[in-house]
């Protein structure tokens, strides 16, 4: 049995000036606010809080060589990075179900609490390889039944799906006890919210972008001379209780080549997605040639002069919209979008929360949303405070250090309790 005490404690919803918890047999058996007055030896920390939840990840990896041993080696590298960053629970989105199911079957209990959506349910034109076509309400019900049989606990509706089919997916998911994540497109975020989805992804797409955009940077520039967010859309989301996973860090990484090349943990991605060696080659003098490669193969624009100024104005408008959403009651939950370009599993959640901090969202709200708020959305409102495990921070988040620096010092004291398939155990842990 171990007792941990901190000058600041969060149970996923409320912050306390001082608190403690007792861990025994891999469970939090007791916790409280204030000073611990028992006789046991106490380990002290700056902050104690539940494990981080990544609500939009791909727990996967790539190989570019002959497989000689474990074909899942890149996937395990992805899982290891998430654990190192303090991400103890993740929702795997838009992938073939065999991969997360196999990882869940083989993972040592406690490595990662994993849920998944399975393939995206969409209509032509499809945007991702892992897509299951849904053409009408009958096929929607069949597709959701397949997801449930494959172990998915959420469904993911794609950008080409019309409103009536999204509504059919929601109804079918409800009968299976599943929730729905939506990618705005043919069905807007507001329409999806009215249909009953639980979460919408990509804040720039939530804010009704123009119909014609060339890429992420072009879309962000389109916000330069527009109001800081669609008040009507955000009001609908707040009123319907629908969450948003903004993914702003992912959008910036997909737009600004210098940011992608400058990722400090870029080398750590080589074991997960070896194509990142091309970004490493672009450092220094290689960037001039790299721009041509990145434009042809990765879709990057060359942002300079007035185009760069317009991009930064659009970016500022998105940060304003993010703050507006928070201030008006929209539940924001973090997602990494890993393993996208230069998005390090786990650590990209830190960077996403740092974006929220730049937008002016208080650190207390960011961390409660990333722990208890996300856990309640993913697992249910009755989830135990420590159902995603326990993190210890070596730096007080109320101090002057930035969010990414604070979370970089996180240590997992207790992983999320999981069963033999690495799914989260449903019973309370405290």
237: left (phi over 0), alpha (psi -120 to 50) or beta: alpha
Radius of gyration over every alpha carbon of the chain, rounded to an integer in angstroms: 21
Q: Provide the residue count of the chain.
A: 430
CA distances for 113 relative to 99, 191, 317, 419, angstroms: 15, 31, 35, 9
Average pLDDT value for residue range 318-329? 95
- The C-alpha atoms of residue 387 and residue 405 are separated, in whole angstroms, by 25
**Stretch (H or E) spanning 131:** strand 131-133
User: Is residue 200 predicted with pLDDT exceeding 80?
Assistant: yes
**Which pLDDT does position 419 carry in this prediction?**
56
Give the pLDDT band of residue 429 (cuts 50, 70, 90): very low
Indicate whether 207 belongs to any domain.
Answer: yes
Average pLDDT value for residue range 329-342? 95
Number of domains in the chain: 1
Average pLDDT value for residue range 1-8? 92
**Which pLDDT does position 427 carry in this prediction?**
42
pLDDT tens-digit readout, 233-248: 999 999 999 999 999 9
Average pLDDT value for residue range 265-274? 93
**Which pLDDT does position 154 carry in this prediction?**
97
pLDDT tens-digit readout, 109-152: 557 889 999 999 999 999 888 999 999 999 999 999 999 999 99
- The C-alpha atoms of residue 45 and residue 55 are separated, in whole angstroms, by 27
**Residues 52-75, buried b or exposed e (16+ Cβ, 10 A)?**
bbbbbbbbbbeeeeeeeeeebebb
- Average pLDDT across the chain, whole number: 90
User: Is residue 70 predicted with pLDDT exceeding 80?
Assistant: yes
Lowest mean pLDDT among 104-118, 239-253, 361-375: 104-118
User: Is residue 416 predicted with pLDDT exceeding 90?
Assistant: no
Distance of CA 396 to the CA centre of its chain: 23
- The C-alpha atoms of residue 334 and residue 190 are separated, in whole angstroms, by 20
User: Is residue 430 predicted with pLDDT exceeding 60?
Assistant: no
For 282, the token pair is: 């672009």
Give the pLDDT band of residue 384 (cuts 50, 70, 90): confident
- The C-alpha atoms of residue 235 and residue 96 are separated, in whole angstroms, by 34
Average pLDDT value for residue range 395-420? 86
Check whether the bond before 125 is cis (ω within 30° of 0): yes
Q: Please report where in the chains the tokens 């969060």 appear, as a residue.
A: 10
pLDDT tens-digit readout, 285-304: 878 778 888 888 788 888 99
Indicate whether 377 belongs to any domain.
Answer: yes
Average pLDDT value for residue range 90-105? 89
- The C-alpha atoms of residue 48 and residue 251 are separated, in whole angstroms, by 31
**Which pLDDT does position 209 carry in this prediction?**
57
Please say whether the dihedral angle defined by the alpha carbons of residues 426, 427, 429 and 430, taken in this order, is positive or negative: positive
Indicate whether 155 belongs to any domain.
Answer: no
Q: Which residue has the higher pLDDT, 1 or 276?
A: 276
Indicate whether 55 belongs to any domain.
Answer: yes
Q: What secondary structure, in 3-state letters, does 283-351 show?
A: CHHHHHHHHHHHHHHHCCCCCCHHHHHHHHHHHHHHHHHHHHHHHCCCCECCCCCCCCCCCCCCHHHHH
Give me the domain span that covers residue 266.
Answer: 2-116+202-414
Lowest mean pLDDT among 7-16, 229-238, 255-264, 274-283: 229-238
187 within 8 A of 163, measured Cβ to Cβ: yes
Residues contacting residue 142 through CB under 8 Å, at least 6 positions apart: none
pTM of the model: 0.94
**Which pLDDT does position 240 carry in this prediction?**
96
Task: Name the percent of the chain lying above pLDDT 70.
Answer: 92
- The C-alpha atoms of residue 222 and residue 310 are separated, in whole angstroms, by 8
Indicate whether 90 belongs to any domain.
Answer: yes
Please say whether the dihedral angle defined by the alpha carbons of residues 254, 90, 355 and 351, taken in this order, is positive or negative: negative
């Amino acid at each position: 049995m171990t007792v941990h005490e901190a000058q600041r404690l969060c149970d996923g919803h409320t912050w306390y000036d001082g608190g403690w918890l007792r861990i025994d047999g891999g469970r939090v058996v007791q916790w409280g606010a204030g000073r611990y007055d028992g006789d046991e030896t106490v380990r002290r920390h700056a902050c104690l809080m539940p494990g981080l939840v990544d609500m939009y990840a791909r727990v996967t990896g790539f190989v570019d060589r002959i497989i000689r041993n474990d074909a899942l080696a890149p996937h395990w590298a992805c899982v290891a990075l998430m654990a190192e960053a303090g991400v103890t629970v993740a929702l795997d989105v838009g992938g073939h179900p065999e991969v997360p199911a196999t990882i869940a079957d083989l993972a040592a209990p406690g490595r990662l609490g994993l849920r998944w959506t399975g393939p995206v349910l969409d209509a032509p034109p499809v945007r991702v390889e892992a897509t299951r076509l849904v053409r009408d309400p009958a096929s929607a019900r069949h597709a959701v039944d397949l997801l449930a049989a494959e172990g998915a606990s959420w469904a993911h509706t794609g950008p080409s799906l019309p409103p009536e089919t999204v509504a059919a997916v929601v109804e079918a998911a409800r009968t299976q006890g599943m929730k729905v994540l939506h990618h705005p497109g043919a069905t807007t975020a507001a329409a999806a919210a009215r249909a009953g989805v639980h979460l919408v992804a990509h804040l720039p797409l939530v804010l009704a972008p123009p119909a014609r955009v060339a890429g992420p940077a072009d879309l962000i520039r389109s916000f330069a001379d527009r109001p800081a967010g669609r008040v009507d859309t955000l009001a609908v989301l707040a009123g319907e209780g629908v969450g948003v996973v903004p993914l702003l860090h992912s959008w910036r990484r997909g737009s600004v080549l210098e940011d992608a090349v400058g990722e400090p943990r870029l080398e750590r991605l080589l074991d997960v997605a070896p194509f990142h060696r091309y970004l490493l080659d672009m450092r220094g003098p290689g960037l001039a040639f790299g721009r041509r490669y990145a434009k042809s193969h990765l879709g990057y624009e060359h942002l300079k002069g007035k185009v760069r100024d317009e991009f930064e104005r659009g970016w500022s408008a998105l940060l304003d919209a993010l703050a507006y959403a928070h201030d008006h009651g929209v539940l924001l939950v973090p997602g990494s979008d890993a393993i996208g370009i230069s998005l390090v599993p786990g650590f990209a959640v830190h960077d996403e929360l740092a974006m929220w901090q730049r937008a002016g969202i208080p650190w207390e709200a960011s961390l409660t949303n990333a722990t208890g708020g996300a856990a309640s959305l993913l697992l249910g409102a009755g989830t135990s405070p420590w159902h995603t495990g326990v993190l210890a921070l070596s730096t007080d988040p109320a101090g002057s250090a930035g969010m990414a620096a604070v979370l970089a010092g996180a240590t997992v004291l207790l992983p999320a309790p999981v069963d033999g398939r690495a799914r989260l155990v449903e019973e309370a842990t405290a």
